[in-house]
């Protein structure tokens, strides 16, 4: 890692280099620190100092490249920070004071830049944590003042990037919107002048309608293997806002942070306000390369146990909903063993007595076993699971409360609701006020009690099904505008406590589907639930899009009865991530059960490549009759290629060979179709097919998907 602070007579140049890229910060004559470069790193780092001079400064246009744009002084672009000083003045100027660089490890470095207002005792420190090998940067800011009284932060972004305008092609934004059961719908378009904002104001389930993750391509939309592309996302599980401002000089300013809507933050003298991190990576080799960088970074540094193992499971949500008892569950535990998965996951409906959880209208908040359904409690189920040779996991939604619950009656002041307005429900429930430390203790206690009483409990699915309406915290009193920020920090406090006590236990991040998939939360979880939509045809698209940001090991893919596809297709689609089942095993035919059992054995042999290997998206479901995606393990000795027909019209299918990627050209691979349904043959026939990596990557192989073979899984083993 190289950070060479080079002080010329007038300016300071700070290059932030990673393996392939550089960000360059440089002061101007007025000591403003500008971001003058983000792109491929230069061979001669001495040339970074020359960059700024190549651009004519449009000094009188009000357009600047501030590294963190303040408002109310000389910069007239969209601000990263807006404040109201203790004396009521609203102007802020930030100039460079100093910077330090420290090494966190061989791979990781931390640059801290201090900026100060020359007039007010107000300071911003910008943090750049860089991961050299992965080309990833996490950037955040810490804001502090020593004014005589409280300063209001009106806007307080995490990061402010500036991309220099290029020739004619402009900047292309790929963004995501969605809704329940239709998460991560992509759109890509050229940015026009002015400001484009993507944001969320939902409080919880913040990604339900829009995501903070995005890609910006330079010149033209990047493809998988070509083009310059910046990927970014905020590590924050609440309201976010990302502004893209294309200014009159054709430069793009990206400002990402907590959404300041209704969220002015009151900061006392001497107290630090730390923003969440904004995460980004850049590649000039297309979206595939950028994704692999993010996926590898996430496995090494962010998600819990990213290099470790995961549990396959059988979930009972869609097979029983709320309707179960000990006898039914005993049968399901046997089915778990019979199927050959590691764990049984008991979903919603196991708790509540005075308000039994027999539907989604009661019981949330009362986390005691329902005595009618489970007279012998969770502990007997954990034991029974063990007797069957499987592990046991459980669903909770601890941030929520139904008005029909003992908790709501005992602690109305713990609930987010306006004191003088009628309550408004989302899925018949309200959100608990995690800004309140007592509520944090309660939520931590829900998890802690489960593990204390049942030390062998092996897995938790943490759900969050409601958004925040009528935002008001009885606890926050005069600081109501802190509620959205303090809620999320309260949630993180709880998750930190959970992880301090239970560092490795698998936790699934669920939010009525994928309403809360972000790296702010995922640093406490082992996996996430992409969508309640488990129709495998839909899942091909949903899982495809999440893969741009998240590694396969984090994607919980369950085989269910949604959709019209045969069991083989459903299993093949679930296999491209972390595999699970949510079907009635007793309803499977002998062949179907045998197929699932043997697919799980195949998965066992391939899971290292799927979970820890490199992923290559070969053929997009948006552009082709069939989607193809593959994974290669670290030493390129094993790979798997998944192919899914997504268009079922007459004659649809893979017509030409699909070129594989990431293999060793000099290795010979035995190619075999796996997950072949009993009684059907392999699309490859009976030939013992051995091909070189060279051939497979330059000529390719036709997986022969068609309306009869709607999904084909090919395994490649070096011989
Ligand atoms: C949410 C989850 C589902 C299921 C139900 C239970 O909708 O996304 O998977 O757990 O809650 O109520």
DSSP letter string over 455-512? TT--EEEE-------S---TTTTT-GGGHHHHHHHHHHHHHHHHHHHSSSS-EEE-BT
For a substitution probing ligand 1, which of 317, 357, 359 has the most ligand atoms within 8 Å of its CB?
Answer: 317
For a substitution probing ligand 1, which of 510, 559, 582 has the most ligand atoms within 8 Å of its CB?
Answer: 510
Low-confidence ranges of the chain (pLDDT < 70): 1-10, 56-63, 167
Q: Which CATH number fits domain 65-302: 2.102.10.10, 1.10.340.30, 2.70.98.60, 3.40.50.720?
A: 2.70.98.60
E strands in 193-324:
194-199, 214-218, 228-234, 240-246, 252-258, 265-267, 273-274, 278-283, 313-315
- Which residues form ligand 1's pocket by a CB distance below 6 Å? 317, 347-348, 360, 395, 463, 465, 510, 512-513, 529, 532
Return the pLDDT at 123.
Answer: 98
**CB contact at 8 A, 267 and 145:** yes
Return the pLDDT at 62.
Answer: 62
Domain with CATH 2.60.40.1180 in the chain: 615-718
Return the pLDDT at 2.
Answer: 43
Binding-site residues from annotation:
180, 347-348, 427, 461-465, 510, 532
Angstrom CA distances, 588 to 321, 323, 573, 593, 681, stand at 19, 20, 18, 6, 21
Domain with CATH 2.70.98.60 in the chain: 65-302
**CB contact at 8 A, 543 and 344:** no
Residue 138's nearest CA partner among 128, 123, 150 is 128
Residue 600's nearest CA partner among 617, 622, 615, 585 is 585
Binding-site residues from annotation for substrate:
180, 347-348, 427, 461-465, 510, 532
Q: Distance between CA atoms of 653 and 492, rounded to whole angstroms?
A: 47
Q: Distance between CA atoms of 347 and 369, rounded to whole angstroms?
A: 13
Instruction: Kindly give the distance from the C-alpha atom of residue 415 to the centroid of ligand 1, in angstroms, as a whole number.
Output: 21
Instruction: Kindly give the distance from the C-alpha atom of residue 449 to the centroid of ligand 1, in angstroms, as a whole number.
Output: 22
Domain with CATH 3.20.20.70 in the chain: 313-613
Return the pLDDT at 505.
Answer: 97
Angle between helices 437-453 and 483-501 (to 10 degrees): 30
Angstrom CA distances, 4 to 17, 145, 660, stand at 9, 29, 40
Residue nearest to atom 1 of ligand 1 (CA): 512
Structure tokens belonging to residue 309: 């193992």
Q: Tens of pLDDT along 220-257?
A: 999 999 999 999 999 999 999 999 999 988 999 999 99
State the maximum Cα–Cα separation within the chain, in Å, rounded to a whole number: 82
SS (H, E, C) 87-147: CCCCCCCCEEEEEEEEECCCCEEEEEEEEECCCCCEEEEEEEEEECCCCEEEEEEEEEECC
The size of the chain, in residues, is 719
Residue 666's nearest CA partner among 641, 637, 628 is 637
Arch. (CATH architecture) of 615-718:
Sandwich (2.60)
Instruction: Kindly give the distance from the C-alpha atom of residue 411 to the centroid of ligand 1, in angstroms, as a whole number.
Output: 25
Among candidate residues 366, 532, 572, 625, the one labeled active-site is 532
Residue nearest to atom 7 of ligand 1 (CA): 512
**313-613 CATH:** 3.20.20.70
User: Taken in order 471, 477, 482, 485, is the CA torsion positive or negative?
Assistant: negative
């Amino acid at each position: 890692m190289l950070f060479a602070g080079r002080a010329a007579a007038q300016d300071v140049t700070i290059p932030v280099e990673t393996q392939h890229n550089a960000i360059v910060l440089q002061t101007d004559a007025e000591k403003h620190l500008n971001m003058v470069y983000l792109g491929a790193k230069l061979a001669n780092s001495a040339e970074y100092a020359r960059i700024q001079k190549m651009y004519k400064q449009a000094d009188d246009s009000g357009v600047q490249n501030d590294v963190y744009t303040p408002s109310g002084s000389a910069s007239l672009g969209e601000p990263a920070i807006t404040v109201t000083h203790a004396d009521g003045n609203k102007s802020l100027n930030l100039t460079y004071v100093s910077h330090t660089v420290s090494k966190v490890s061989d791979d990781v470095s931390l640059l801290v830049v201090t900026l100060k207002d020359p007039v007010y005792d107000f300071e911003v420190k910008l943090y750049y944590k860089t991961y050299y090998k992965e080309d990833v940067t996490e950037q955040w800011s810490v804001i502090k003042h020593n004014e005589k009284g409280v300063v209001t932060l009106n806007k307080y972004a995490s990061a402010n990037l500036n991309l220099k305008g290029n020739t004619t092609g402009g900047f292309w934004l790929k963004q995501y919107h969605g809704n329940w059961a239709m998460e991560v719908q992509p759109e890509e378009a050229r940015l026009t002048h002015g400001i484009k904002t993507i944001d969320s104001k939902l409080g919880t389930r913040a990604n339900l309608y829009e995501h903070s993750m995005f890609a910006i391509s330079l010149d033209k939309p990047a493809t998988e293997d070509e083009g310059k592309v910046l990927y970014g996302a905020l590590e924050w599980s609440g309201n976010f806002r990302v502004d893209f401002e294309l200014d009159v000089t054709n430069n793009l300013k990206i400002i990402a942070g907590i959404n300041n809507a209704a969220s002015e933050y009151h900061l006392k003298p001497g107290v630090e306000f730390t923003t969440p991190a904004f995460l980004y990576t850049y590649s000039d080799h297309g979206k595939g390369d950028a994704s692999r960088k993010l996926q590898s970074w996430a496995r090494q540094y962010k998600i819990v146990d990213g290099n470790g193992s995961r549990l396959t499971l059988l979930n009972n949500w869609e097979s029983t909903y709320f309707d179960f008892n000990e006898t039914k569950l005993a049968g399901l535990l046997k089915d778990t063993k019979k199927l050959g998965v590691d764990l049984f996951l008991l979903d919603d409906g196991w708790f509540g007595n005075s308000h039994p959880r027999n539907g989604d209208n009661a019981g949330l908040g009362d986390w005691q076993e329902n005595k009618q359904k489970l007279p012998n409690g969770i502990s007997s189920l954990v034991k029974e699971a063990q007797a069957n040779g499987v592990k046991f996991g459980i669903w909770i939604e601890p941030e929520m409360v139904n008005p029909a619950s003992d908790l709501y009656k005992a602690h109305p002041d713990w609930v987010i609701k306006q004191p003088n307005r009628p309550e408004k429900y989302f899925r018949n429930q309200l959100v608990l006020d995690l800004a309140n430390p007592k509520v944090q203790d309660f939520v931590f206690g829900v998890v802690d009690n489960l593990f204390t009483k049942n030390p062998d409990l092996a897995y938790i699915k943490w759900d969050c099904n409601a958004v925040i309406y009528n935002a008001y915290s009885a606890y926050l009193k005069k600081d109501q505008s802190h509620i959205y920020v303090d809620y999320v920090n309260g949630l993180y406090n709880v998750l930190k406590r959970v992880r301090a006590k239970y560092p490795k236990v698998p936790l699934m991040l669920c939010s009525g589907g994928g309403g809360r998939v972000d790296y702010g939360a995922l640093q406490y979880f082992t996996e996430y639930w992409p969508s309640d939509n488990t129709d495998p045809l839909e899942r091909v698209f949903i899982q495809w899009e999440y893969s741009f940001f998240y590694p396969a090991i984090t994607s919980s893919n369950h085989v269910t009865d949604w959709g019209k596809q045969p069991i083989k297709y459903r299993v093949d689609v679930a296999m491209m991530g972390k595999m699970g089942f949510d079907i009635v095993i007793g309803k499977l035919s002998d062949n179907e059960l045998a197929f699932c059992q043997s697919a799980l054995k195949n998965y066992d042999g391939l899971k290292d490549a799927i979970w820890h290997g490199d992923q290559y998206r070969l053929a997009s479901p948006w552009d082709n009759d069939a989607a193809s995606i593959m994974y290669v393990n670290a030493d390129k000795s094993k790979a798997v290629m998944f192919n899914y027909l997504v268009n079922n019209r007459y004659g649809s299918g893979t017509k030409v060979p699909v070129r594989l990627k990431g293999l060793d050209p000099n290795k010979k691979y035995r190619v075999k179709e796996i997950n072949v349904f009993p009684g059907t043959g392999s699309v490859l026939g009976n030939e013992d097919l051995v091909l070189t990596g060279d051939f497979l990557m330059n000529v390719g192989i036709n997986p022969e998907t068609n309306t009869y073979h709607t999904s084909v899984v090919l395994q490649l083993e070096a011989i």
